Amino acid sequence: MASTYTTSTAFLEALAEAGVSYIFANLGSDHPALIEALAQVKAQGREDEFPRLIVCPHETVALSAAHAYATVTRRPQAVFVHVDAGTQNLGGAVSNAMRGRVPVLIFAGAAPYTTAGELPGSRNEFIHWIQDVPDQRGILRGYVKYDNEIRTGRNVKQLVYRALQIARTEPAGLVSLVGPREVMEEPVEPYAVDPADYPPATPAGLAADVTAEIASALAAARNPLIVTSYLGRHPDAVPALVELAELLAIPVLESAAFCVNFPGDHHLHAGYQFTTTAQNQVLAAADVILVLDSDVPWIPATSRPAPDAAIYVVDIDPVKANLPMWHVPARRIAAADSKVAVEQITGFVRDNVLVDAGLVEVRSAEAADASRARRAALDALEQPEPGVITPRYLTACVRDLLAGADALVLTEAVTNYQVVAEHLRPSRPGSLIGSGGGSLGWAGGGAVGAKLADPERAVVSLVGDGSFLFGVPSSAQWVARRYGTPTLTVVYDNRGWAAPRFSTLQVHPDGAAARAGDFYASFEPAADLAGIARAAGGAYGVTASDPGELPQVLKDALAVVQGGRSAVVSVQLPPV
Ligand SMILES: Cc1ncc(C[n+]2csc(CCOP(=O)(O)OP(=O)(O)O)c2C)c(N)n1
Ligand SMILES: [Mg+2]
């Protein structure tokens, strides 16, 4: 059979030429042209010139995998989904990618617009009427930076490159294209467009006067502080931040952080905060605060800076127009790439000899004392209790398990985010990632994407039991086996949702729910979470409840993963 060159062929070529290695796909009646185009290039032995299609039985898994892949590599991948219901099924993963500022290209089909065989691709299945929704592009519009429709194959490459240019330009994000069946079937003459003509915008720096103002304020401060959440999305920004922090002995506080912004074992690390219930004393004591790349530097209801603290904000997304309520009382809010900005500030301090060596020495010693004290307190908290596995002990066991291994950790531990950060103390830039968003279930597909992005690394997910189930483990574990991406999942299994229980107690500490001790959040009778992974993905799945045996159980599971098979360890914590 003669091969044809269609819009779909050009679309796939464009993705490949733009550096897309994988298409995470959940297909439907809208995709025959793409399936045929892929089959034709495979028949020609040219499969390797095109992105590899990863079949994902659930869309959450597909987008979460693309999300994690792009988080690790900063290279956007593609997600192909069905029109209407398939696009809806991306669900909260869309919100995660937006909040995580992660570049991904989503393609959905669209219902055929001819109904009686007028064009190739015209309606010929009952579902083509049912799937014809009024606003296909509108499904994602609140979450994407750009959406458009492929209207012809003659410029689909330009459209793809423009979409990816927007996706990659910081703040990075989702872009979406839709293509009706007739357009995707359209025969076109092969053509070439150079993707190098569509670079993302280069990272911007601070204006000279703003650099001078921030650098001078930090250098003159008695108690300067840096608060950051996502500077470490770009791991090469971390050494730059370390250099500035050391130059002036500025402690660094990580707030709601889903990446390594500053080495956890550094004496200037001022701790981690997620949802605070008490005033952070480091924050309260600061007279000059530089907030670098943060959506939530503190929670004013429980913890805030001193009223007279001088606050400066430098952020890739400084006014956060897509957060309807947001305010930091800053003297200056500047849009800049954090690495560029930090290097500028460091350069200004050095060039103008602003370092007060005596003060820096004193502050450095104070920070080292504080860090030692915090570490000792945490060490005490992670000791096992008789017969009980606490989240802190579990995290300490994971830390010991991974000591010396070049592991990549995915965190979706929810009420244990803080525990995971404090006891893992990740220090290597890029060694820990989270979704950056609020839709749970990311790590299931995320682990697949992370392993594809960095196959040599051990990938370990630390997830709540609720999050494990949100991640459609049947789908995620199947994909992992099918495509050879073995990872270790450690479930912080408290048989329920601790989060809504916590939230209710914060607002209604003496209410009826508190008195009854029932928050509609228990998963009893317990599901066999490890069993799901065994059944769906042939994984090694075990449940652990003995604190003494836990280190060996984790070690065995990691060995299985290193042997090429996924493992899930459901660790029994005190129930919610
Ligand atoms: C997709 C999605 N649905 C609902 C929620 C609301 N929610 C926030 S935390 C939470 C419970 C998470 O349970 P688990 O992963 O077991 O963590 P735990 O609270 O027990 O620490 C829920 C349901 C959410 N964040 N995302
Ligand atoms: Mg739970």
| DSSP codes of every residue in 152-197 | -GGGHHHHHHHHHHHHHSSSP-EEEEEEEHHHHH-B-------GGG
Which of 440, 463, 523 maximizes ligand 1 atoms within 8 Å of its Cβ, making it the mutation to test the pocket?
440
- Choose among 339, 316, 332, 330: nearest CA to 244: 339
pLDDT per residue as tens digits for the range 486-504: 999 999 999 999 999 999 9
pTM over 0.85? The answer is yes
The amino acid occupying position 78 is: A
Tell which atom from ligand 1 comes closest to the C-alpha of 440.
26
What is the per-residue pLDDT for 139? Answer: 98
The pLDDT of residue 274: 97
Query: Would the pLDDT of 572 be above 90?
Result: yes
What's the 413 CA to ligand 1 centre distance in angstroms? 9
Report whether pLDDT(385) > 90: no
The CB density around residue 120, as the number of other CB atoms within 10 Å, is 17
Tell me if residue 411 falls in helix, strand or coil: strand
Pocket of ligand 1 (CB under 6 A): 92, 414-416, 438-441, 464-467, 470, 494, 497-499, 576
Tens digit of each residue's pLDDT (9 = 90 or more) over 37-79: 999 999 999 999 999 999 999 999 999 999 999 999 999 999 9
| pLDDT for the residue numbered 1 | 58
**What is the position in ligand 1's atom list of the atom closest to the CA of 499?**
19
| Average pLDDT of the residues in 364-388 | 96
- Which ligand is nearest the CA of 519, by number? 1
Q: Mean of the per-residue pLDDT values for the chain?
A: 97
pLDDT digits (tens, 9 = 90+) for 342-356: 999 999 999 999 999
> How many angstroms separate the CA atoms of 14 and 5, rounded?
13
| 514 pLDDT above the threshold of 90 | yes
Whole-number Å distance, alpha carbon 444 to ligand 1 midpoint, is: 14
Residue of minimum CA distance from atom 21 in ligand 1? 415
Closest by CA position to 131, among listed 100, 164, 109, 153: 109
Between helices 32-43 and 7-17, what is the axis angle to 10°?
Answer: 70
Closest CA to 293 of 241, 351, 223, 357: 241
Give strand pairing partners of 110. 180
Q: 274 C-alpha to center of ligand 2: Å?
A: 17
